[in-house]
Amino acid sequence: MFETEGNSLVFRDEKETVRIEPWGKNSFRVRSTYLGDICPGPGALIEPEVVEVSVQQSTECVEIKNGRLIARAVLRKPWDGSYPQIEFLTEEGQILLQELSFANAQRRRARQFDAQPGGSFHLRATFLSDPSEKIYGMGQYQQEIMNLKGCNLDLEQRNTQVSVPFYISTLGYGFLWNNPAIGMVHFGTNTTEWEAHSTKQLDYWITAGNTPAEIEQQYADATGHVPMMPEWGMGFWQCKLRYWNQEQVLNIAREYQQRGIPLDVLVVDYFHWKKCGDWRFDPEYFPDPGAMVRELHEMGIETMVSFWPQVSWQSENYEEMRDQGLLIRNHSGVDVQSIFHGNNVLADPMNPRTRQYVWNKCRENYTSKGIRAFWLDESEPGYTNYGFDNMSSYAGPLLEVSNEYPKEYARIFYEGLKADGQDDIINLIRCAWAGSQKYATLVWSGDIFSSYVDFRRQICAGIQIGLAGIPWWTTDIGGFFGGDPTDESFRKLFVRWFQFGTFCPVMRLHGRREPYVDLFNKAGELIEGTGADNEIWSYGDEVYDICRKYIDIRESMRPYLRRIMQEAHETGAPVIRALFFEFPEDEKAYDRADEYMFGPDLLVAPVCYENSYEREVYLPKGTLWKLLSTGEVFEGGREYLVKAPLEVIPVFTRGADLACGFTI
């Protein structure tokens, strides 16, 4: 039977221990172990405030009520002992989520632990599925699918894929799989099944809310709130693969200054170092980085530098880090986890001594030069071979903990900058996990291709990752791989992507443009090369004029941007929002994968098909909408065909009389 421990319920038998614990407003955390005691971690949840609960218990059933959410455990009696089946329901009696029943001869367990060598388990957690339910969130997967019902999703981090295992259901609840193990989730029509390939315990969190906004706020309360976006992050960012010397960086900044184009951030990309893991400027190409940063600051431009966790065997820091146990280690074979520019191993941010070591190097070689913004690349991290079963970290085998890597990686820089007295922090990073947002994580969508298909996928990705609790998100304007600035068809794609980037949480231009040029150092050695020019004047006069217009629009939106960034900070609300986030009563608002709300008041409908100069736009019901390019007013609840010449992205204000401060 269940026992009460504090305000929690605990079930024990000879094999399993189950704990159901209130964890924040209208929320419960459920943990279960097999042949052992409940352990406190790992996970994304932070300690909650104590809440009042009520418990009702009978011979075969126990209920614990926290606000509007009830957890009910029914004690089943299979042939080999008692087994609690857990379900969650509202105070009105509506079932939100229910574990698989044991009440038949198949003897299937909802919480199935299959023993593995070494004391870990292969875990499957199975819930009954409501076929009418729609599911949203889960991070960033490269697909044009909004409703994830019916999808199979890998729970692992890869370049362009971000696994943040939190979703919102149209039934009125949010669910976090609070386990960083490599695994999968199957959102079937008969069951929903979560799978961890290797773990010590089951751990999940569930919350109930009347609206998506309420669910999102409770999730932010449980895992941490994103900070307030710094003022210097809200404008235009310039980047390319790659500015490879100091004079080139300064010349680009001076050109923007001379043209009178506002520029918030200029990014110095990877291999400004000699060897991965040196974590300092190569003096052959950056002889005086302190002077470079000072000049950029005088122009009002923040300098961001790339950082990789890879450590080359030839790095000046490799032997020390190896000997101090600060690296990811292979269980067998040679310790090589990446072969990009030679043999590399990976720093282990899950080790607190690694975090301190890395930050000391950054303080010595970067922040002492005036740099206070970091681009945390390769943050999955970028393994050459994703052999999770052959690697371990300080926190345990990667099969058990790998998905937490990007969160702990971002933590190095957030806590380091905080400790050094900086409050306005942004970590641009390629991956994230649940809770990453509290470390000032700005996710970008990775090394995507320069195509209309990839462009469309980013719109859906931006919506889903916001619903998964990561409000700060961006994408490489124009895509990363490919794209010739002299090619007319790519120029049109670039314009459409630039317009979309204007209405993203961060407006950032990046890419590996063609043709790519090889570079050699003074010793004649081949080093990382550079792509073609990628500044807004690199695409011809027509494109330049359009881009300049949208940078000015971005500047004019600063008061609105401050407002929606403050809302993200305080409530956890996404910046890019699914239409249903603002209009939960409108059934037609739930499946739009190519339009979104930018904050509460702007509806954005990117043009994302080649040679298209008009598009269908659905306007949610319950309000009037004004098209900013023409001033026309439309009634909500209908779909319209809207003109969109190359220089125009359809943007609507919510309400005919709303003054937004700019026109399209």
pLDDT digits (tens, 9 = 90+) for 586-628: 999 999 999 999 999 999 999 999 999 999 999 999 999 999 9
Mean pLDDT of 123-148: 97
Residue 508 CB contacts under 8 Å (≥ 6 apart), including other chains: 236, 237, 239, 265, 428, 444, 474, 475, 476, 477, 501
Burial of 524 (0-12, 13-18, 19+ CB in 10 A): exposed
Mean pLDDT of 118-147: 96
Residue 33 phi/psi, 5-degree rounding, is: -130, 160
| Nearest of 20, 465, 403 to residue 182 by alpha carbon | 403
Mean pLDDT of 187-202: 97
Residue 323 CB contacts under 8 Å (≥ 6 apart), including other chains: none
Annotated catalytic residue within 16, 193, 264, 380: 380
Q: What is the pLDDT of residue 102?
A: 67
Backbone region of residue 582 per phi and psi (left: phi > 0; alpha: psi in -120 to 50; beta: other values): alpha
Active site residue 255: no
If you compute the radius of gyration of the chain from its CA atoms, what whole number of angstroms results?
Answer: 26
Cis peptide upstream of residue 165 (ω within 30 degrees of 0): no
Q: Give the model confidence (pLDDT) of 479-524 as tens digits.
A: 999 999 999 999 999 999 999 999 999 999 999 999 999 999 999 9
Q: What is the rounded CA–CA span in Å between residue 336 and residue 319?
A: 14
Provide the 3-class DSSP secondary structure of residue 348.
coil
Q: What is the pLDDT of residue 80?
A: 53
Mean pLDDT of 523-539: 97
Provide the 3-class DSSP secondary structure of residue 420.
coil
Active site residue 154: no
Mean pLDDT of 246-259: 98
Q: What is the pLDDT of residue 117?
A: 87
CB count, 10 Å around CB of 115?
A: 11
Predicted confidence (pLDDT) at residue 45 exceeds the cutoff of 90: yes
| Nearest of 226, 222, 185, 179 to residue 204 by alpha carbon | 179
Q: What is the pLDDT of residue 118?
A: 85
Contact predicate 373/302, CB 8 Å: yes
CB count, 10 Å around CB of 372?
A: 22
Question: Residue 287: CA atoms inside 13 Å, Cβ hemisphere, count?
Answer: 3
Contact predicate 285/250, CB 8 Å: no
> What proportion of the chain, given as a percentage, has pLDDT over 70?
98
Mean pLDDT of 346-370: 98
State the helix-helix crossing angle for 488-502 and 452-467, rounded to 10 degrees: 10
> What proportion of the chain, given as a percentage, has pLDDT over 90?
91
Q: What is the pLDDT of residue 105?
A: 64
Ranges assigned E (strand) in 23-150: 27-34, 54-57, 61-66, 69-76, 83-90, 95-99, 111-115, 121-128, 135-140
Q: Quick one: DSSP state of residue 79?
A: T
Mean pLDDT of 79-105: 83
Active site residue 380: yes
What are the start and end residues of each CATH 2.60.40.1760 domain in the chain?
A: 2-223
Question: Residue 601: CA atoms inside 13 Å, Cβ hemisphere, count?
Answer: 16
Q: What is the pLDDT of residue 103?
A: 55
Predicted confidence (pLDDT) at residue 1 exceeds the cutoff of 90: no
Q: What is the rounded CA–CA span in Å between residue 243 and residue 102?
A: 61
Mean pLDDT of 189-200: 97
Predicted confidence (pLDDT) at residue 51 exceeds the cutoff of 60: yes
Q: What is the pLDDT of residue 188?
A: 97
Ranges assigned E (strand) in 129-255: 135-140, 152-155, 162-169, 173-177, 183-187, 191-199, 201-208, 236-238
Per-residue confidence band for 13, with pLDDT thresholds at 50, 70 and 90: confident
Q: What is the rounded CA–CA span in Å between residue 337 and residue 392?
A: 11
Q: Is the pTM of this model over 0.95?
A: yes
DSSP string, 218-276: HHHHHH----PPPGGGSSEEE--TT--SHHHHHHHHHHHHHHT----EEEE-S-SSSST
Q: What is the pLDDT of residue 662?
A: 82
Annotated catalytic residue within 447, 476, 582, 594: 447
Provide the 3-class DSSP secondary structure of residue 329.
strand
Q: What is the pLDDT of residue 661?
A: 79
| Nearest of 307, 583, 585 to residue 430 by alpha carbon | 307
Contact predicate 402/429, CB 8 Å: no
Predicted confidence (pLDDT) at residue 81 exceeds the cutoff of 70: no
Both structure tokens of 610: 């080649």
Q: Give the model confidence (pLDDT) of 259-305 as tens digits.
A: 999 999 999 999 999 999 999 999 999 999 999 999 999 999 999 99
Q: What is the pLDDT of residue 660?
A: 80
What are the start and end residues of each CATH 2.60.40.1180 domain in the chain?
A: 576-654
Predicted confidence (pLDDT) at residue 664 exceeds the cutoff of 70: yes
Fold of 576-654: Immunoglobulin-like (2.60.40)
Question: Is 2-223 a domain of CATH 2.60.40.1760?
Answer: yes
| Nearest of 528, 507, 508, 503 to residue 517 by alpha carbon | 528
Annotated catalytic residue within 16, 99, 348, 377: 377
Per-residue confidence band for 84, with pLDDT thresholds at 50, 70 and 90: confident
